[in-house]
Structure 1
Amino acid sequence: METTAEYYCAYCGENNLTFVDLSVGAQQSYVEDCQVCCHPNILYVRVDEDTLDVEIDSEYEG
């Protein structure tokens, strides 16, 4: 099951939309390039398993 969530790029601060695979688990992390500036962001994803609410923190890769 997939959903979308937003995060702010750690480099340029722009809002981005990403797909989150809810079947992976309640805590996950992966690298995704910003859709605006193309810099890689490490995304830390937390999913509330009861409500399926998604929260994402991002930080610079490297």
Structure 2
Amino acid sequence: MGSLEETTIYCPYCGESITVLINGEEVGQEYIEDCQVCCKPIIFNISMGMNGDLSVSVREENETY
């Protein structure tokens, strides 16, 4: 199992800060998780920086990537 890293994101719909756990094994993957506040679907993209840190970007379901 990969390492879990706690990070804070901001919902692209309601703007609320949400703490999520990111799995290091999910690098390069995209998945959907509902906002804990407004319940709308947030698309997560997980990547790894040059220094080995996990990076998370989020967007709305209908936002073009």
TM, length-normalised to structure 2: 0.70
- Aligned length in residues: 61
> Structure 1 residue 23 and structure 2 residue 25: aligned?
yes
In structure 2, give the amino acid aligned to 1:29.
Answer: E
Ranked by relative contact order (alpha carbons within 8 Å, sequence separation 6 or more), the top structure is: 1
Which structure 1 residue ranges, 5 or more long, are not aligned? none
Q: Identify the structure with the greater strand proportion.
A: 1
Which structure 2 residue ranges, 5 or more long, are not aligned? none
Partner of 2:53: 52
TM, length-normalised to structure 1: 0.73
Runs of 4+ in 1 over 3 A off after TM superposition: none
Conservation of the 8 A alpha-carbon contact between 1:41 and 1:59: yes
TM-align CA RMSD: 2.1
